[in-house]
């Protein structure tokens, strides 16, 4: 894909000067999906991993690199891997969501994901995109800037991945299957984790915790990822401010904060200045942010430590961190409103100014009848009152090969009935099922207002769009007002991301350009809501230009 493999060249010192000229290269990875026993919370169980690692291996690439990952499935589940936030320009076949862009890799089978990283640099992550396997099947993606291109902030002394996740003592697939059979909400996790470790917990003094050894007087780049299934998180380091420099692999105007808010699917790069002259051990912590009432939550705080070299390894951390309380909407908003695109000459924010498709999507919970369930009904979730049903063949194949009967392209641009979305819910909150997509011409511009509903309970929904970055131009509490709210939009330096929190009982407006042909999933990144149907997909048609069409499928693409 316009890249040369450097491997043969490396053998020839003669060609060494060429290395400086070649800007991109091919990177090969092998991901073997295998079960391994892991012990956390004094509880041992087999988990599904890549190469036996939890969290999984870090995938390194440089902007413009061609990345090839051969995934081989050695477990008894179907598997797919998604490269969350990688735009996959024209390579939708490598995006990964099961039954959206590909059929699953069956036990014993392999598939090679093949994509080029274009116009992105920073932190993203990869994760399984089928069932609830991503609970342990995930790892960081680190995209370095092109050779010779510096960061737009002072070069850090060192860089560390800080991956936040969840640990469940029980088998997660059993948890969700039971929930689906009963119609009720699934159990919550038993602990949060930092790079796989919860830290000391009641009843289980730690057998290991996240520990970052630092030199005093330096700057460290923390690449923070929320890979949890169902929980938005606060994160902080005691006695240290964090300077936010990038989110979702897009640079932001640096700002200082003591707490970050990070939703499942989001990534945040921060600079940590080790400016505590006296040294010491400082607590690192991650705890849940959830500002709705009736939803069960994992209240365990994951902890780790920033350890200044030369400090004695005493049992307890000298400096404890205090994070905002679980329902601290104010703290969360303060953070979210501080985010702005860097919007410099090198990294301009291309916020679409003129809009071709103006969409209003309600997102929320609901119920559906279920004769076999405990109360005769089951929890559901929907967008514009459609609870999305995955097909049994992949949508991208159906689109590319013109297979009829798999989906329709009549997803409604507006809610089927207008009502007071955030007021007292209407009596009928039964969602319809459907596999309906919204069609966009190549290069059209889209404004999408995501409006939370108060069905069951208002709740924050971190919505993730595949295939694109978007600009978050506005947000508010209550119902979106199409007359007055757009006047307050930020169309200059709105933050650019791939996952955005729709506030509890509020709305978020995003804009993007449909410049990537293919079928692109959009869903709530709380796994339980995805399972319940809070998902849909866009079809973006091919353009007429030479580089504006979806590439043909690879020969090893799995079949259903």
Residues within the interface to ligand C2O (CB under 6 A): 82, 84, 97, 127, 129, 265, 464, 466, 521, 523, 525
3-state DSSP of 348-411: CCCCCCCCCEEEEEEEEEEEEECCCCCCCEEEEEEECCEEECCCCCCHHHHHHCCCCCCCECEC
**Complex with ligand C2O: residue 27 or 129, whichever CB lies closer:** 129
Residue 133 phi/psi, 5° resolution? Answer: -65, -20
**Complex with ligand C2O: residue 340 or 523, whichever CB lies closer:** 523
**Complex with ligand C2O: residue 201 or 540, whichever CB lies closer:** 540
The closest of 509, 527, 524, 507 to 462, measured between CA atoms, is 524
Shortest Å distance, C-beta 521 to ligand C2O: 5
Shortest Å distance, C-beta 129 to ligand C2O: 6
Joined together, the tokens standing for residue 163 give 């991956």
Q: How far is CA 415 from the centre of its chain?
A: 26
How many Å apart are CA 424 and CA 553, to the nearest integer?
Answer: 48
Residues 384, 455: contact at Cβ < 8 Å? Answer: no
**Complex with ligand C2O: residue 88 or 343, whichever CB lies closer:** 88
How many Å apart are CA 527 and CA 178, to the nearest integer?
Answer: 15
Shortest Å distance, C-beta 213 to ligand C2O: 31
Q: How far is CA 24 from the centre of its chain?
A: 26
Joined together, the tokens standing for residue 314 give 């005493």
Shortest Å distance, C-beta 265 to ligand C2O: 5
In this structure, the dihedral spanned by the alpha carbons of residues 440, 441, 445 and 446, taken in order and rounded to 10 degrees, is: -10
**Complex with ligand C2O: residue 304 or 533, whichever CB lies closer:** 533
Shortest Å distance, C-beta 253 to ligand C2O: 25
DSSP 463: E
Shortest Å distance, C-beta 126 to ligand C2O: 9
Q: Is 329 helix (H, G, I), strand (E, B) or coil?
A: helix
Dihedral angle sign, alpha carbons of residues 344, 347, 351, 352: positive
Half-sphere exposure of residue 228: CA atoms within 13 angstroms, side-chain side: 34
**Complex with ligand C2O: residue 411 or 520, whichever CB lies closer:** 520
Shortest Å distance, C-beta 268 to ligand C2O: 15
DSSP 550: P
**Complex with ligand C2O: residue 40 or 84, whichever CB lies closer:** 84
Dihedral angle sign, alpha carbons of residues 43, 47, 51, 55: negative
Shortest Å distance, C-beta 417 to ligand C2O: 28
**Complex with ligand C2O: residue 88 or 238, whichever CB lies closer:** 88
Strands (E), 3-104: 26-40, 43-50, 59-62, 66-73, 81-84
Structural element, H or E, at residue 143: strand 138-144
Q: Are strands 445-452 and 461-465 parallel, antiparallel or unpaired?
A: unpaired
Joined together, the tokens standing for residue 486 give 């757009």
**Complex with ligand C2O: residue 127 or 436, whichever CB lies closer:** 127
Shortest Å distance, C-beta 525 to ligand C2O: 6
Q: Are strands 445-452 and 357-369 parallel, antiparallel or unpaired?
A: parallel
Bond preceding residue 174 cis, omega within 30 of 0: no
Shortest Å distance, C-beta 131 to ligand C2O: 13
Residues 191, 206: contact at Cβ < 8 Å? Answer: no
Burial class (CB in 10 A: 0-12, 13-18, 19+), 391: middle
Residue with CB nearest ligand C2O?
A: 84
Dihedral angle sign, alpha carbons of residues 433, 356, 504, 187: positive
**Complex with ligand C2O: residue 272 or 381, whichever CB lies closer:** 381
**Complex with ligand C2O: residue 129 or 273, whichever CB lies closer:** 129
Shortest Å distance, C-beta 296 to ligand C2O: 23
Joined together, the tokens standing for residue 529 give 């809501």
**Complex with ligand C2O: residue 84 or 240, whichever CB lies closer:** 84
**Complex with ligand C2O: residue 40 or 464, whichever CB lies closer:** 464
Shortest Å distance, C-beta 188 to ligand C2O: 20
Largest CA distance in the chain: 76
Shortest Å distance, C-beta 165 to ligand C2O: 13
């Amino acid at each position: 894909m316009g890249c040369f493999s450097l491997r043969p060249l490396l053998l020839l010192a003669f060609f060494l000067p060429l290395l400086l000229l070649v800007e991109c290269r091919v990177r090969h990875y092998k991901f073997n999906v295998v079960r391994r026993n892991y012990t956390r919370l004094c509880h041992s169980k087999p988990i599904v991993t890549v190469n036996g690692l939890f969290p999984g291996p870090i995938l390194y690439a440089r902007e413009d690199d061609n990345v090839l990952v051969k995934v081989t499935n050695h477990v008894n589940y179907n598997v797919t891997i998604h490269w969350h936030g990688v735009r996959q320009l024209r390579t939708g076949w490598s995006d990964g969501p099961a039954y959206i862009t590909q059929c699953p890799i069956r036990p014993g089978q392999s598939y090679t994901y093949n994509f080029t990283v274009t116009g992105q640099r920073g932190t993203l992550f990869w994760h399984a995109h089928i069932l609830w396997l991503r609970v342990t099947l995930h790892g960081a993606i680190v995209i370095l800037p092109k050779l010779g291109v510096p960061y737009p902030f002072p070069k850090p002394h060192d860089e560390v991945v800080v991956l936040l996740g969840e640990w469940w003592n029980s088998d997660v697939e059993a948890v969700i299957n039971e929930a689906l059979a009963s119609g009720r909400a699934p159990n919550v996790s038993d602990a949060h984790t930092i790079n796989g470790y919860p830290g000391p917990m009641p009843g289980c003094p730690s057998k290991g915790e996240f520990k970052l050894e630092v030199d005093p007087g330096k700057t460290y780049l923390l690449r923070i990822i929320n890979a949890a299934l169902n929980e938005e998180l606060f994160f902080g380091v005691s006695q240290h401010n964090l300077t936010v420099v990038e989110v979702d692999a897009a640079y932001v105007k640096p700002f200082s904060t003591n707490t970050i808010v990070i939703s499942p699917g989001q990534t945040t790069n921060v600079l940590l200045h080790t400016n505590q002259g006296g040294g010491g051990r400082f607590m690192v912590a991650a705890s849940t942010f959830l500002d709705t009432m009736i939803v069960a939550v994992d209240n365990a705080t994951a902890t780790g430590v920033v350890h200044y070299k030369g400090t004695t390894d005493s049992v307890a951390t000298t400096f404890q961190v205090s994070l905002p309380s679980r329902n601290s909407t104010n703290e969360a908003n303060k953070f979210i409103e501080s985010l702005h695109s860097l919007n410099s000459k090198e990294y301009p924010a291309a916020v679409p100014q003129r809009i071709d498709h103006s969409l209003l999507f309600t997102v929320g919970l609901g119920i559906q009848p279920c004769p076999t369930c405990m109360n005769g009904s089951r929890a559901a979730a929907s967008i514009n009152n459609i609870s999305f049903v995955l097909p049994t063949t992949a949508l991208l194949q159906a689109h590319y090969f013109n297979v009829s009967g798999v989906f329709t392209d009549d997803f409604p641009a507006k809610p089927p009935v207008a009502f007071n979305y955030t007021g007292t819910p209407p009596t009928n909150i039964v969602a319809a099922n459907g596999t309906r997509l919204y069609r966009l011409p190549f290069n059209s511009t889209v404004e999408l207002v995501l409006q939370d509903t108060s069905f069951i309970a208002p709740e924050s929904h971190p919505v993730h769009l595949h295939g694109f970055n978007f600009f978050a131009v506005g947000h508010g509490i209550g119902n979106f007002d199409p007359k007055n709210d757009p006047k307050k939009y930020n169309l200059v330096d709105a933050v650019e991301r791939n996952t955005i929190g729709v506030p509890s009982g509020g709305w978020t407006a995003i804009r993007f350009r449909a410049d990537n042909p293919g079928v692109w999933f959009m869903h709530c990144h709380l796994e339980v809501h995805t399972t319940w149907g809070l998902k849909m997909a866009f079809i973006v048609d091919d353009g007429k230009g030479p580089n504006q069409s979806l590439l043909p499928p690879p020969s090893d693409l799995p079949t259903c």
